[in-house]
Structure 1
Amino acid sequence: MPSKQTIETLRAFTAERDWAQFHSPENLAKSIVIEAAELLECFQWGPEFNQRKVEDELADVVTYCIHLAGVLGVDLDEIVLRKLEQTRTKYPVEKARGRTTKYTELDS
């Protein structure tokens, strides 16, 4: 998870530019998808990729995720760990280890 310093620096950067006014949950969710598509574009033509470009696009995705968490008033650590517990239940080790099968098909 991003450090408190990273989050505070990001918030200060945004405040200095008065950009929070544009950070509705809808706009931020759209921006996450747009930036995720740009990240995916780095791999569009095969497994070769530019490490720096991937890092830049990943930073954009994470930045918008941090903003969205802030606007929604959620703690990223808390929601990630909660979701991990849900996923742990859906994908028990004894059924899911080494498999990419969807949880609804694990017993098949």
Structure 2
Amino acid sequence: MAQFVAERSWQRFHNAKNLSMSLAIEAGELMEHFQWLTTDETVCGSGFDIKSVGEELADVVCYALSLANALEIDLSSTIGAKMEKNRQKYPAAADS
């Protein structure tokens, strides 16, 4: 993502404010695909265009990665630490 942004000289636009807003906008566009569907219609591809949903999801991920880059957050380490925190908060059920 950083290379893509640099090749287009977009660094001046890629700050925390703009990227967090863009991330929220793209998440909204993703939600629009499911807004008026019933739960049954949200089963993989039955009530929506899976390709379009995938593209919106890709936009969300790209903006999240760009935001992490702009804030110099090591997302890999942060995700690992967050998952460990979640494991502690929500332990798996013990085998019966």
Normalised-by-shorter TM-score class: 0.7 to 0.9
Task: List structure 1 segments (4+ residues) > 3 angstroms apart after TM superposition.
Answer: none
Give the corresponding residue for 1:104. none
State how many pairs are aligned.
86
- For the residue of structure 2 that corresponds to 1:94, the secondary structure is coil
More helix by share: 1
Give the TM-score normalised by structure 1: 0.73
Q: Is the 8 A contact 2:26 2:60 kept in 1?
A: yes
Give the C-alpha shift of residue 20 in structure 1. 1.1
Give the corresponding residue for 2:63. 64
Cα RMSD for the two superposed structures = 1.4
Q: Are positions 1:80 and 2:79 aligned together?
A: yes
Give the corresponding residue for 1:21. 12
What is the distance in 1 between the residues matched to 2:31 and 2:71? 26
Unaligned stretches of 5+ residues in structure 2: none
What is the distance in 2 between the residues matched to 1:87 and 1:29? 23
Unaligned stretches of 5+ residues in structure 1: 1-9, 96-108
Q: Percent identity?
A: 45
Give the TM-score normalised by structure 2: 0.81
